[in-house]
């Protein structure tokens, strides 16, 4: 079975590349290390685009091949073919002529290779002259010399092999493409390098691709914060793609204070701080990467105000797969374990996080925060899949303008979505939130807040909890909520058209309007199973046209409760008078009126019947306090908001009240 799986993974790699093969392996239940072991055993080499490679002939064929300029075993396809022998490159042109690799076919300005016939020295072959210009035992020094010789820029190709980097590659020229032959070209940090393998600083127009970078983290100084795989700093128009970067003490791939950045199609594994780090840059695109294994963040998209640098601008983070952010060996001692983090050391202005998969992280799936004293804004978190986060699925703090939409959030140790003080202007729509230990959505911050069209299932506490004024909570679906479906603790909110199925637990409620939730509207909701359907502690609210099956309660003042199936008609109200608020209706505590007191109809229209007493003279007034009936006779139907006064009696009448 394993052999069949290995063959299938190799076929997938040939068709979809290494990233596709790793995704297939992860879906089959293998870890990244196991998949890489299988793929590396296949010894597949990704060719450089534009050149068709084939194996070098045997030694006997080789001599004939070179001397006679022909090889019958090599098909003629009209393409220039390139092969290697003893570390040197040769070419065959379409007419069959074979010669040392030179200017006629220029795949690179320099070709770096390891010469097995010369003590495994690293050599730089001049792609134009066909001469070896640089040679030595330190791959870093040879590569850097070749790059720096390209005063007008150019292409440097590293042939397959393992290159030990004794000194960081620190180029000084722009307009360079540094590439290898895929995962078989390995740049490995020496023991105790304690610095980046490649460090490009204050340059422009750089591409790094088709390389494997081994940061050798277990043999670097403990907790070093300078051990990067690939680091760009203050560089414009920089790219890293199709690389495999692993085992870095600090960051795998980083771009800091850069502009026009693309980090794409890379595999980044087991880096002690962040897998990918985009810091204080403008125009950053991090897409189609696999990040497995980190301690602080799988992907960090940060601003730089904490260090006196600029905010981050116009970031895109899409179609990445982030998992296993739980190594717990951060060189910074943080071990926050977030999948994707936005903000961190400063603010970010305009960022979109979309189509990513985040699994098995020790912190939040996606975290948006801002360094103290600054504000991030215009952040969109859309269409992501977040599974098994030990903290919240999505958490925001100190952000203005957040859209969280279309995400699948499953199995969290905290809330599905939580945002706190300093967050404002938030839209939460079309998300599926399930299996949370805490709330489905927990919202504190500033208005406005819109929560629409979300689906909640198996929620450990409140489905939606908000203390933000002017919140709109509409057309959401709740199934299996442990405590309260919707909790509103702020004024001027609207709760409309929600389906609250299976709200369970002792004292559970479908909808609660807390004492601070004045002037709220609750309309058209369906609550079929909650122990308490709707519980109103607030004042001056409208509760109408809802369907409830549980016990309902209105203990506020000045509320209108009408047309609610399962609640209206209210039928006989035994304690209809509230002597504190002087209301009559749904929130009373006594059945005995006080003399010469106007009682305002609370909750719903009522019918009042009175009898007995001494000196009783009933006056009916409308909502404006105008007398409608003097010396009224029993019974009387009173609309919501009207008033009734029983006169200066000496003995109180007996009252019977029915609510509609």
**3-class secondary-structure state, position 355:** coil
Q: Residue 336: pLDDT band by 50, 70, 90 thresholds?
A: very high
Is 18 part of any domain? yes
**3-class secondary-structure state, position 654:** strand
439-461 mean pLDDT:
92
In the chain, the largest separation of any two C-alpha atoms, in whole Å, equals: 132
Per-residue confidence (pLDDT) for residue 431, from 0 to 100? 97
The domain total for the chain is: 2
Q: Which residue has the higher pLDDT, 544 or 26?
A: 544
* Angle, helices 32-41/2-27, rounded to nearest 10 degrees: 130
Per-residue confidence (pLDDT) for residue 103, from 0 to 100? 30
Count of C-beta atoms within a 10 Å radius of residue 148: 14
Is 341 part of any domain? no
Is 6 part of any domain? yes
Contact of 294 with 317, CB cutoff 8 Å: no
3-state secondary structure 96-165: CCEEECCCCCCCCCEEEEEECCCCCEEEEEECCCCCEEEEECCHHHHHHHHHHCCCCCEEEEECCEEEEE
Specify which residues 256 forms β-bridges with: 233, 279
Is 66 part of any domain? no
Is 599 part of any domain? yes
pTM above 0.75, yes or no: yes
pLDDT digits (tens, 9 = 90+) for 76-134: 344 445 554 444 455 555 555 555 543 323 468 999 999 988 999 999 999 888 889 99
Does the pLDDT value for residue 459 go beyond 50? Answer: yes
pLDDT digits (tens, 9 = 90+) for 301-329: 999 887 788 899 999 999 999 999 999 99
Is 68 part of any domain? no
Q: Which residue has the higher pLDDT, 482 or 2?
A: 482
Of 229, 268, 185, 239, nearest to 19 (Cα)?
268
- Return the DSSP state at 427: E
Per-residue confidence (pLDDT) for residue 79, from 0 to 100? 44
Q: Which residue has the higher pLDDT, 658 or 626?
A: 626
Show the tokens assigned to 312. 């981050």
Owner of token pair 């040679």: 135
Is 486 part of any domain? no
Q: Which residue has the higher pLDDT, 348 or 100?
A: 348
Count of C-beta atoms within a 10 Å radius of residue 187: 27
**3-class secondary-structure state, position 18:** helix
Q: Which residue has the higher pLDDT, 176 or 551?
A: 176
pLDDT digits (tens, 9 = 90+) for 142-157: 999 999 999 999 999 9
Q: What percent of the chain has pLDDT over 90?
A: 61
Does the pLDDT value for residue 15 go beyond 60? Answer: yes
81-85/88-92 β-pairing: antiparallel
Per-residue confidence (pLDDT) for residue 75, from 0 to 100? 34
Q: Distance of CA 134 to CAs 103, 111, 126, 386, Å?
A: 18, 11, 9, 49
Per-residue confidence (pLDDT) for residue 27, from 0 to 100? 67
Q: Residue 571: pLDDT band by 50, 70, 90 thresholds?
A: confident
Give dist(CA 446, CA 425) in Å, integer: 7
Per-residue confidence (pLDDT) for residue 442, from 0 to 100? 95
Q: What are phi and psi of 59, to 5 degrees?
A: -60, -40
End-to-end CA distance of the chain: 71
Q: Residue 582 sits in which domain range?
A: 571-659
Per-residue confidence (pLDDT) for residue 421, from 0 to 100? 79
Give dist(CA 234, CA 236) in Å, integer: 7
Helix (DSSP H) and strand (DSSP E) numbers for the chain: 4, 65
Contact of 159 with 179, CB cutoff 8 Å: no
Per-residue confidence (pLDDT) for residue 60, from 0 to 100? 30
Per-residue confidence (pLDDT) for residue 331, from 0 to 100? 94
> Is omega for the bond preceding 569 within 30 degrees of 0, making it cis?
yes
CB contact set of 649 (below 8 Å; sequence gap of 6+): 595, 613, 614, 615, 616, 617
Q: What are phi and psi of 509, to 5 degrees?
A: -135, 145
Does the pLDDT value for residue 237 go beyond 90? Answer: yes
CATH code of the domain containing 601: 2.60.120
Per-residue confidence (pLDDT) for residue 68, from 0 to 100? 28
Per-residue confidence (pLDDT) for residue 64, from 0 to 100? 28
Q: Which residue has the higher pLDDT, 108 or 19?
A: 108
Per-residue confidence (pLDDT) for residue 565, from 0 to 100? 84
Is 621 part of any domain? yes
Per-residue confidence (pLDDT) for residue 41, from 0 to 100? 63
Per-residue confidence (pLDDT) for residue 646, from 0 to 100? 93
394-414 mean pLDDT:
95
Does the pLDDT value for residue 522 go beyond 80? Answer: yes
């Amino acid at each position: 079975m394993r052999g069949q799986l290995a063959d299938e993974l190799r076929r997938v790699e040939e068709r979809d590349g290494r990233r596709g093969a790793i995704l297939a392996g992860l879906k089959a239940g293998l870890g990244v290390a196991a998949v890489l072991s299988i793929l590396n055993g296949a010894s597949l080499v990704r060719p450089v685009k534009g050149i068709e490679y084939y194996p070098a002939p045997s030694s006997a064929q080789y001599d004939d091949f070179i001397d006679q300029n022909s090889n019958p075993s090599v098909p003629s396809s009209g393409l220039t073919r390139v092969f290697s022998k003893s570390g040197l490159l040769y070419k065959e042109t379409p007419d069959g002529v074979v010669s040392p690799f030179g200017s006629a076919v220029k795949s690179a300005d320099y070709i770096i290779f390891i010469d097995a016939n010369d003590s495994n020295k690293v050599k730089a072959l001049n792609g134009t002259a066909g001469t070896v210009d640089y040679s030595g035992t330190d791959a870093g020094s040879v590569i850097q010399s070749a790059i720096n010789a390209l005063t007008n820029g150019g292409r440097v190709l590293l042939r397959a092999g393992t290159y030990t980097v004794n000194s960081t590659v620190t180029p000084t020229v722009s307009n360079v493409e540094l590439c290898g032959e895929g995962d078989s070209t390995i740049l490995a940090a020496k023991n105790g390098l304690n610095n980046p393998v490649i460090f490009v600083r204050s340059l422009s127009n750089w591409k790094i691709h088709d390389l494997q970078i081994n940061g050798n983290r277990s043999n670097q100084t403990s907790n070093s914060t300078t051990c990067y795989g690939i680091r760009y700093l203050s560089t414009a128009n920089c790219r890293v793609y199709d690389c495999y970067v692993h085992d870095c003490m600090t960051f795998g791939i980083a771009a800091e204070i850069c502009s026009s950045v693309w980090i794409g199609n890379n595999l980044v594994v087991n880096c002690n701080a962040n897998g990918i780090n985009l810091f204080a840059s403008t125009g950053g695109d991090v897409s189609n990467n696999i990040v497995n294994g980190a301690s602080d963040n799988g992907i960090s998209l940060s601003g730089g105000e904490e260090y006196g640098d600029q905010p981050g601008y116009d970031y895109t983070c899409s179609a990445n797969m982030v998992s296993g952010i739980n190594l717990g060996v951060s060189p910074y001692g943080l071990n926050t374990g977030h999948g994707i983090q936005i903000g961190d050391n400063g603010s970010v202005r305009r960022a979109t996080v979309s189509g990513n998969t985040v699994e098995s992280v020790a912190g939040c799936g996606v975290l948006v925060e801002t360094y103290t004293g600054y504000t991030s804004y215009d952040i969109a978190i859309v269409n992501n899949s977040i599974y098994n986060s030990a903290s919240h699925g999505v958490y925001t703090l100190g952000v203005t303008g957040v859209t969280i939409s279309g995400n699948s959030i499953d199995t969290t140790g905290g809330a599905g979505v939580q945002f706190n003080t300093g967050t404002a202007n938030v839209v939460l729509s079309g998300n599926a939130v399930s299996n949370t230990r805490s709330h489905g959505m927990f919202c504190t911050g500033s208005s406005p807040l819109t929560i629409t069209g979300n689906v909640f299932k198996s929620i450990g506490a409140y489905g939606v909890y908000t203390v933000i004024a002017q919140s709109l909570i509409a057309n959401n679906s709740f199934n299996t909520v442990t405590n309260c479906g919707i909790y509103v603790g702020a004024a001027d909110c609207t709760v409309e058209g929600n389906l609250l199925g299976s709200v369970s637990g002792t004292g559970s409620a479908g909808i609660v309007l807390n004492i601070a939730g004045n002037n709220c509207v609750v309309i058209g909701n369906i609550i079929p199973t909650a122990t308490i359907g709707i519980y109103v502690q607030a004042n001056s609210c409208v509760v109408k046209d809802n369907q409830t099956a549980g016990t309902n309660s209105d203990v506020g003042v000045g509320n209108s409760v009408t047309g609610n199936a399962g609640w209206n008609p209210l039928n006989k109200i035994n304690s209809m008078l509230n002597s504190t608020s002087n209301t009559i209706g749904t929130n009373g505590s006594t059945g005995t009126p006080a003399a010469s007191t106007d009682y305002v109809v609370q909750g719903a229209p009522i019918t009042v019947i009175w009898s007995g007493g001494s000196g009783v003279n009933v006056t009916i007034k409308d909502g404006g306090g105008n007398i409608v009936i003097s010396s009224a006779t029993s019974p009387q139907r009173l609309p919501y908001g009207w008033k009734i006064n029983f006169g200066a009696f000496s003995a109180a009448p007996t009252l019977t009240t029915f609510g509609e």
